[in-house]
Structure 1
Amino acid sequence: MTRPLTALLCCALALAAAGCGIRPTGVTDGGTAPSGISQGMRIYFASDNGPRGVPRPGVTIDELNDVFKLLIAGPTAEERADGLANLVHMEENFSATADHGNVTVNAPGYFTASPQDPATGQLVCTLARAEVLLHGTRPDKVQVTIVGEDGRAGPYQCQQFLRR
């Protein structure tokens, strides 16, 4: 019993002395650490990789319905050149209300039959961002339901539409 125990102890000491084989490097600067949710309003537009948020510095919103004006304005010329497009077409006035992170969109003329379409992603992510800013709801707790021409769809969360 002494011989196996001695052999095991020798192996453990040899491994500890050898290290893991990774050589030390100098200090690498990883940049500034993220500090939580980015500040300010972001509008989401369609891209080849799903909805992509673009900042709107200096833009403040007082209610969820302000989001629709920002979406109607569409992407800037630079954003369009970068491949972004607005696929949300508002035939009539859309309106939104929120209750503890549950956002309901009244969207006349909007068809909800295709729940994962890019326009729905734009709408959900933009309204979710606005809900976070207006009411301090955690982003992972915001749920958006769309009441459209053909019924009700959702609730959705923005992360359902974001590709990794």
Structure 2
Amino acid sequence: MKRLVVSLVAVALVAGCGVRPTEVLDGGAPASGIPEGMRIYFASDRGLRGVSRPDKEITELAAAVKLVMAGPNEAELVAGLTDLTAITGEFSASAIEGHVTLRLPRTPVTGVAGMAAGQLVCTLARAESLLHGTRPDAVRVTVVAQGGAVGPYQCSQFLTG
């Protein structure tokens, strides 16, 4: 009897599970998680949220900062988005091999903390990616402001699930 059970199990294993082999199937194009064009980031009660600015073509990093400074549009305000940055006066932004430096000589370093820093970091990471082809997750942003510097940061440090 024991031999019969072992034989039946062996036959079942050889027979397989009934799934027939198929040809290789094409799964289509890979998923692309990053939308095209410029994205800027604003604060909300659920953390940072990126919004598209497909009609805005940037040619320098400072232009991305200006987009944030312009604030959310009417629909974004209704959706609860806000600009927490407190940039005053002149500023400049530069990048060397994915390392972005934002200089805010007249803005107190306290004005670029928390989600305000996240708005700038994530927006600049996107801009650096568009301008120089750096992967957004490889961009590091340092903000030099009145009274000190913060960073270097990556955008992922500010995004919540």
SS state at 1:145 partner: strand
1:138 matched to 2:138? The reply is no
Cα deviation for residue 151 of structure 1 reads 1.4
1:103 matched to 2:96? The reply is no
Q: Which aligned segments of 4 or more residues in structure 1 are displaced greater than 2 angstroms?
A: 9-19, 32-37, 112-115
Q: How far apart are the structure 1 equivalents of 2:10 and 2:112?
A: 60
Going by fraction, where is strand more abundant, 1 or 2?
2
SS state at 1:43 partner: strand
Question: Identity of aligned pairs, percent?
Answer: 52
Aligned with residue 86 of structure 1, among 83, 88, 91: 83
Q: How far apart are the structure 2 equivalents of 1:95 and 1:17?
A: 70
Q: How far apart are the structure 2 equivalents of 1:56 and 1:105?
A: 21
1:43 matched to 2:43? The reply is no
Give the alignment's TM-score, normalised by structure 2: 0.80
After superposition, the Cα gap between the structure-2 partners of 1:69 and 1:10, relative to the gap in structure 1 and judged at 3 Å, is: same
Task: Quote the residue 2:21 is aligned against.
Answer: none
Cα deviation for residue 92 of structure 1 reads 1.6
| Aligned partners of 2:99 and 2:141 also within 8 Å | yes
Give the alignment's TM-score, normalised by structure 1: 0.78
SS state at 2:72 partner: coil
SS state at 1:65 partner: helix
| Aligned partners of 1:41 and 1:56 also within 8 Å | yes
Number of matched residues?
150
What does the per-residue CA deviation read over 1:75-130, in whole Å, with 9 as the maximum and x for residues that have no partner?
01110110100001111212110001000011222315985x11010010000000
Task: Quote the residue 1:27 is aligned against.
Answer: none
| Aligned partners of 1:112 and 1:151 also within 8 Å | no
Q: How far apart are the structure 2 equivalents of 1:132 and 1:144?
A: 12
Q: How far apart are the structure 1 equivalents of 2:160 and 2:141?
A: 18
- Superposition RMSD on alpha carbons, in Å? 2.9
1:66 matched to 2:63? The reply is yes
Cα deviation for residue 34 of structure 1 reads 2.8
**Which structure 2 segments of 5+ residues have no match?**
18-28
After superposition, the Cα gap between the structure-2 partners of 1:33 and 1:102, relative to the gap in structure 1 and judged at 3 Å, is: same
Cα deviation for residue 37 of structure 1 reads 3.2
